[in-house]
Amino acid sequence: MPNNNGYGPQTSQAEDGRGDSEGRQQLGSEGGGIGGYGETGAAVSLGLKETPSDQVSTPRGRSKSLNVKGADNVLVPEVGTASYHVALASGSGEAAADDLYMEGISLRRGFAAEFISHLEDDARNLFLFDDDDFAEDSETAPLWPDKGRGGGKGKPRLERKVSSRSQAAVSRVVVTFLKSMVGSYILYTPKMFQNGGLTASILSLLCAAWVACDNMIVLIRVAEKTGKNSYGQLGYAVFGKVGQLLVDVSLVLSQLSFCSSYFIFIVLNIPSALPVPPPGSRMEYLLSPNALVAMQLLVYIPMAWIRHLKYLALAMFGANVCMWLGLILIVGIDAELLIREGPEPVLQYNPDTFIIFLGAVVVCFEGIGLVLPLRDSMEPHMQHKFPGVIRVAMLFLSIVFCLFGCLGYMAYGESIETFVTMNIPAGHPVGALSVGLYSIAIMMSYPLQLFPAVKCLEGHLFGAVRQRSLLRKWLKNTLRAAVVLATAAFAMFVGPSFDNFAGLVGGLCAVPLALVYPSALQLKMMGDSMTMPERAWAWTVLVLGTFGAVLCSWQSIATWK
């Protein structure tokens, strides 16, 4: 019978049964296996329990296809017995216990061949096949593959009150949340502070972070009440198809705008970090906007065809390293300039462009679309910690954005460029290194930003089917390539008008997602149980958010250069 998840060789029950019986005979009657005991002796001495094969589940992180088929009983180490504690004391902790667990349930002949088959299938599935064909709704899929978290299919038999893997999952959630919130926009914060004024920008940024954090927690409470695990599903459950359409359109447009900003960052920063090339030279052509966009397309389109986030893990790790190293170098350059020459004259409040600043500042904290998928990816017994994780992460981000914006604005004053890296003198070795590192981080982050948008589009355009099709996959690949080209074309259209672009994205997408929709969902679903102050606050956020979205959008379009 084929494996449940479609991986591995299609072995028959007879073959599996033969392999298991031979393995158990070697373990018991031939004196092989664990400690040279017979079958019963090994079970008694090591705490192994004879368990029907249909009741055996694999530990978290192991392939479901390794379950034994065709054998009546298998030997499984129980939690708390000698075999379990010996494994924990061997130096590898939980991993060793899991290895012993697997040793009891995977004694069959074809293990090596099956493992190789997994690698071959992963290589084939990298660009062509994904699991969406077998999912009822791509929007309900977890952010990371389910590996036995909490009741249901794949639940591990070895349970711990305190699990190192649970702690690792929390750390992974924190890192992913921070990475999704810190992109090219942090390099734009000094320019934002110029648009708003130093004091007004600090106060507004802290206020926006607090309101955005509060609405993220509101969204979690509404999700718990409705039982939905995605923003779009909440919109549908509360307001029907119109609600889902509004949420999905805002999410897709916001993610695609971030992708366009990546093109803009590379086009504006790479030439400014390098010495000016001779006129008419080949280097001058390579550093032109058209050439830089074309080179990015050669990288982004193949990366957009990757079907699973797990294949982007190495790229995300590299992006995090390059991004933080680049930020540290930029902060060092700004601090050195401030110490050497002192701060430049700055405005405390800028009435001319403050409205555009308000729209852009909300974009800095527009990570609400990831809140529910990240929470759903955590262990059920750890999900109660997620609101605390959000609060700590948002506090950290607020401090980082304020410090970065203040340093850059005070270092360069009214001469600040769109991205602070553009103020670094051409040919500056540390400046060129920082721009190079951040450009690498941006390029490796592009598919992660594109992923939610294309998954949403594919869900609406292709739906879900129960049969794999190579034609269907290449249609999806074509859609992904077209979306990448669209983000490039929009970046070329925006050009140097990034201030207005950021304000427009904030007004049309970020403000509704972060302020308007959560308050509307809360009032609709939980209005009867809310206190009077809670209802008053929700209505205040809803009304001011709607007014701010319209005002920011109008101001950004009216002053477009």
Other Cβ atoms closer than 10 A to 462: 15
pLDDT tens for 468-492 read 778 888 888 899 999 999 999 988 8
* The predicted structure's pLDDT at residue 378: 79
Return the half-sphere exposure (C-beta side, CA atoms, 13 A cut-off) of residue 521: 35
Model-level pTM?
0.65
Q: CB–CB of 343/408 below 8 Å?
A: no
* The predicted structure's pLDDT at residue 372: 82
Distance CA 444, CA 321 (A): 11
**pLDDT class for 466, splitting at 50, 70, 90?**
low
**Cα distances (angstroms) measured from residue 202 to each of 180, 418, 511:** 22, 18, 18
Query: What 3-state class would DSSP assign to 77?
Result: strand
Please tell me the CATH code under which domain 165-558 is placed.
Answer: 1.20.1740.10
Give every CB contact of residue 501 below 8 A, 6+ residues apart in sequence.
257, 260, 261, 494, 556
Average pLDDT over residues 35-62: 41
**pLDDT class for 265, splitting at 50, 70, 90?**
confident
The residue that leads in pLDDT, 92 or 235, is: 235
pLDDT tens for 92-112 read 444 444 444 444 434 333 333
* The predicted structure's pLDDT at residue 4: 44
From the list 272, 267, 283, 288, the residue with the least C-alpha distance to 427 is 272
Give every CB contact of residue 438 below 8 A, 6+ residues apart in sequence.
187, 265, 269, 322, 323, 326, 327, 330, 421
Q: What are phi and psi of 48, to 5 degrees?
A: -85, 145
From the list 542, 524, 538, 452, the residue with the least C-alpha distance to 237 is 524
Q: What are phi and psi of 76, to 5 degrees?
A: -125, 130
Average pLDDT over residues 158-187: 66
Average pLDDT over residues 323-336: 90
In three-state form (DSSP H/G/I as H, E/B as E, the rest C), the secondary structure along 505-558 is: HHHHHHHHHHHHHHHHHHHHHHHHHCCHHHHHHHHHHHHHHHHHHHHHHHHHHH
Percent of residues, the chain, with pLDDT higher than 70: 68
* The predicted structure's pLDDT at residue 464: 66
Q: Is the pLDDT of residue 557 over 60?
A: yes
Pairing of strands 48-52, 73-77: antiparallel
Between helix 189-196 and helix 498-505 the angle, nearest 10°, is 90
From the list 207, 294, 331, the residue with the least C-alpha distance to 489 is 294
**pLDDT class for 139, splitting at 50, 70, 90?**
very low
Average pLDDT over residues 145-171: 50
In this structure, of 174-188, 280-294, 535-549, the range with the lowest mean pLDDT score is 174-188
pLDDT tens for 276-298 read 788 888 888 888 889 999 999 99
**pLDDT class for 15, splitting at 50, 70, 90?**
very low
The domain locations on the chain are: 13-125, 165-558
Rounded mean pLDDT of the chain?
73
Instruction: Take residue 89 and report the two structure tokens written for it.
Output: 């004391």
From the list 312, 378, 308, 466, the residue with the least C-alpha distance to 146 is 378
Q: Is the pLDDT of residue 178 over 60?
A: yes
